[in-house]
Chains A and B, each alone.
Chain A
Amino acid sequence: MKLGATANRAARRFISSLPALFGVVVFTFLLMRVLPGDPAVFFASGPQAGPEEIAMIRAQMGLDKPVPQQLLLYLRDLSQGQLGRSLTTGQPVLVDLRNRLPASLELTLTALLIALVAAVPLGVAAALRPGSLVDHIVRFVCALGVCVPTFVSGLLLIYVFYYLAGLAPDPTGRIDIFMSQPPRVTGFLLIDFAIAGDWEGWQAAARQLMLPALTMALFVVAPLARMTRASMLASLGSDFVRTARSLGLSRRKIVVTYALRNAILPVLTIVGIVFSTMLGANVLVEKVFSWPGVASYALDALLSSDYAPVQGFVLLMASIFVLVNLTVDVLYGVADPRVSVE
């Protein structure tokens, strides 16, 4: 019954997000068509390429047709699951994205996990003693955290942990070039190494992941902790907590079972928003750490006016975004059964 209601709500949300996704596709397509520079010239054999060769490449890329027709062709390809071909790597964009997406997801999810593990206890601790030293420290860290750009904190972490302390490995890529890759199962190196039982490799990959994940986590701890604190304060001040106290329940039961469970809903909302900002911040972090993810792939393509990868990337990001919002929506129902009763 409850499950059905949740599924129903998720389905409704999904359908209502389809127009926005379609809008993203069209908008990105048009945006890419005004990119300066002619990709046909860019990808011709050389500066000496004759007009015939350029015309041939244009025809091959479908650039000689009017823009509305190009859009229709693109939509037709899209409906067949084809995102076009990257001109820089020569691979279908779908293959490239599939190869590189695990790197980005592994980074983003690890960062989100670190951030949540740090932020929720911090927020709770601050809310339990408002006005105390802990509270002030948490608020100060929050105020500061949103002000440091990810690319600066990433570089400073490299300076401290790689140059000064020597704890972190050379900050380029997911794994040392001399290390052997694990057999590819999921594409997540930590999982693949674990499956292969290669714990030395697992450690190497984890060490490589540490700094970029920390960089991104630092960036999102602030909004998460701030929201936890605010909603925890509201929840601790409510009647049911007062009642629980008057009944003499244990402090742990009051704080964790009653107050936190009720305070978690706004935090979930923020997690959705935070995830979307992390997708954007990925571009910067992947650039700083030469991380071979989808964002750095799209950035390289963008700088060499290669349409297809950028379109595919933006579509992928928007889809992930929609998916995350759906998940958050479903989790709402789990965290607070009242939401599904409508």
Chain B
Amino acid sequence: MTSATLRHTVWVLRGNPVTAVAAGGAFVLCLVALIGPWIVPHDPIASNVANALKPPSAQNWAGTDQLGRDVFSRLVIAARLDLAIAASAVTLSFAVGAVIGAVCGYLGGRLDRYVGRFVDILMAFPLFVLAMAMVAALGNRVENIVIATAIINLPFYIRFARAEVNVRRNAGWVEAARACGDSHLSVILRFLLPNVLPAMAVQVSLNLGWAILNAAGLSFIGLGVKPPTPEWGIMVAEGARFIATGKWWLVAFPGLALMLTVLCFNLLGDGLRDILDPRMRT
């Protein structure tokens, strides 16, 4: 980070405290995900049927579920799994998408057309339905939620990287690198990708929120994460059975956790866009 970027960042953060708050929130979330197991007040798995379905109290801040487990502790423990799923899915599609998109945008030709067709096919699916079918087909495991979420994100990254590289492929500095005897691979990796990465980083933050919602949706319908593992989507699914009898805390608190997490990453993404790419400011 050069001092100019730093100054710009500080300027943006001062003018836009929301981004600063979002960054703080995201930091707290990551911290909770890291140290969760050491700060929870109760054992998230231990059931205590005598204390089942109790509303929030001083003892159990977010109430207890049908097995008497402490909802708050489960929420805290679940942060790690939810964030890990979303982060690894987005990282995966970012890495694969950036490389495929960059190669297509740089080389063009037949490969570009084939990949374009493949992307069109992926985009013709309602994406959540595609993810659902993939998790069911690959096997009902957490890794497959990651893979499915990564694949349905892939088209956006490929298109983005392709478009960004395509407009730069004939730029003077690319031709200069070629003239200096750099190979195509080296031009892509050393010059083109670093140029498009900042814009893509914004996409990552915006995508994280979406990936979390997606993963939670999948586990809500019973795919991927299995009980008794604490995970926000599955906690909502378990609480759903008791909502019609007024046990709101089983749904509201995991829902709140999901909402705040996604909100943090979305606001952070908007802020990052202002910092990294002032042209795209809205």
Shortest Cβ gap from A302 to chain B (Å): 5
Number of A-B contacts (CB under 8 A): 153
Q: Are B266 and A147 in contact (CB under 8 A)?
A: yes
Return chain A residues, CB-CB under 8 Å to B220: 149, 151, 284, 287
Q: Are B126 and A321 in contact (CB under 8 A)?
A: yes
Return chain B residues, CB-CB under 8 Å to A27: 121
Q: Are B124 and A21 in contact (CB under 8 A)?
A: yes
A318–B244 CA distance with the chains assembled, in angstroms? 34
A317–B129 CA distance with the chains assembled, in angstroms? 9
**Stretch binding the partner chain, chosen from A59-67, A120-128, A158-166, A331-339:** A158-166
Shortest Cβ gap from A291 to chain B (Å): 13
Shortest Cβ gap from A120 to chain B (Å): 19
Q: Are A28 and B133 in contact (CB under 8 A)?
A: yes
A318–B127 CA distance with the chains assembled, in angstroms? 10
A170–B244 CA distance with the chains assembled, in angstroms? 8
A276–B125 CA distance with the chains assembled, in angstroms? 8
A40 within 8 A of partner (CB):
no
Return chain B residues, CB-CB under 8 Å to A134: none
B139 within 8 A of partner (CB):
yes
A151–B233 CA distance with the chains assembled, in angstroms? 9
**Stretch binding the partner chain, chosen from A30-38, A184-192, A235-243, A244-252:** A30-38
Return chain B residues, CB-CB under 8 Å to A156: 243, 248, 251-252, 255
B133, B138, B221, B255: the one contacting A152 at CB < 8 Å is B255
A158, A159, A277: the one contacting B126 at CB < 8 Å is A277
Q: How large is the interface on A (under 10, 10 to 19, 20 to 34, 35 or more residues)?
A: 35 or more
Given contacts A149-B217, A149-B255, A159-B243, contact A283 B128 (CB under 8 A): yes
B120, B129, B236, B267: the one contacting A151 at CB < 8 Å is B236
Chain B binding surface, main DSSP class: helix
A314 within 8 A of partner (CB):
yes
Q: Are A280 and B246 in contact (CB under 8 A)?
A: no
Total interface residues on B, CB under 8 Å, equals 49
A146 within 8 A of partner (CB):
yes
A322–B124 CA distance with the chains assembled, in angstroms? 7
B63 within 8 A of partner (CB):
no
B282 within 8 A of partner (CB):
yes
Chain B residue nearest to A157 (CB atoms) is B243
Chain B residue nearest to A24 (CB atoms) is B124
B262 within 8 A of partner (CB):
yes
B92 within 8 A of partner (CB):
no
B29 within 8 A of partner (CB):
no
Q: CB within 8 Å of A: which residues of B?
A: 117-118, 120-121, 123-130, 132-134, 136-140, 209, 213, 216-217, 220-222, 233, 236-237, 239-240, 243-246, 248, 251-252, 254-255, 258-260, 262-263, 266-267, 282
Closest 10 CB pairs of A and B: A280-B128, A152-B255, A23-B121, A147-B262, A279-B126, A20-B124, A280-B126, A147-B263, A155-B251, A20-B120
